[in-house]
Amino acid sequence: MISGSLTALVTPFKNNKVDADAYQAFVDWQIRSGTNGLVPCGTTGEASTLSKEEHVHVIRLCVEAANGQVPVIAGIGSNNTRSAVRMAGEAQKCSVDAVLAVAPYYNKPSQEGMFQHFQAIAQAIDIDIILYNIPGRSIVDIDLETMGRLAEIPNIIGLKDATSDLARVSDYKAVCGDDFIQLSGDDPTALSHWAHGGSGCISVASNVAPAQCAELHKLCAAGEFTKARILHEKLDRLFKDLFLDASPAPTKYALNALGKMQAEVRLPIIECRESTKEAVVSAMKMAGVEI
């Protein structure tokens, strides 16, 4: 089952090209540190600035490095349904375990338009789909009725919810059923999301603190919420300070400090400010990340 600490992987660049060696070494480190699943080519992976060829290349690199040890859920989202369908097919060819499909952004489709968008992706592939609801970026919000309809499609198995609305967990259970996988899309709400009935998080912070994030989710899964809260408090500054500047610049700076990759990002994202770098280093130390 897809659950626990799932890392929304950054994509390392070197001289404006995907750094394949750094990426696969990074994936290996993630798995050895206890990460429960990998999500290449999401927003944190700067998918919007990857070419189609790079997008497929990164997915293939991740699957190869993971080697079946943990699930790989590839981001394939687009506001162009045909593009999303094509990328979902490419991801399936790469032998991913599932795809992550975001609500179409910018176009502002209706609820029926979103339903048909996701249905088209589901009908085009034989692997599982995790929906991604993030109104702060996409503008549109997949409503409760639409989510219930989508959950009836056999290979739509769960949701990454980045609304920070914890009341939705119970609402989704009521319309989608207990087997529908609910993942938080925000590290700061992951602990509470578990308490409400969720089962993990697609995490940015686990790029930098994979062992600590994996332990947090392990405690939550075991119902050890007092211990989990103590660990959450140590991680909380990291959760928040990785977003002091446009993501993933602060995360890549942190990983550069750990010797994992270059801090290089692609426009329109730019390198983070000196004040952010200082805050991130302080947050890493608070979280128990050795620099």
Q: Which two tokens stand for residue 103?
A: 């609500």
Question: How far are the Cα atoms of 86, 150, 190, 241 from residue 147, in angstroms, in the given order?
Answer: 23, 5, 21, 32
- Catalytic pick from 132, 252, 253, 260? 132
**For this structure, is 253 an active site residue?**
no
- Catalytic pick from 23, 160, 260, 277? 160
Q: Which residues, at least 6 apart from 9, have a Cβ–Cβ distance to it below 8 Å?
A: 23, 26, 27, 30, 38, 39, 40, 42, 44, 45, 62, 207
**For this structure, is 260 an active site residue?**
no
Q: Which residues are catalytic?
A: 132, 160
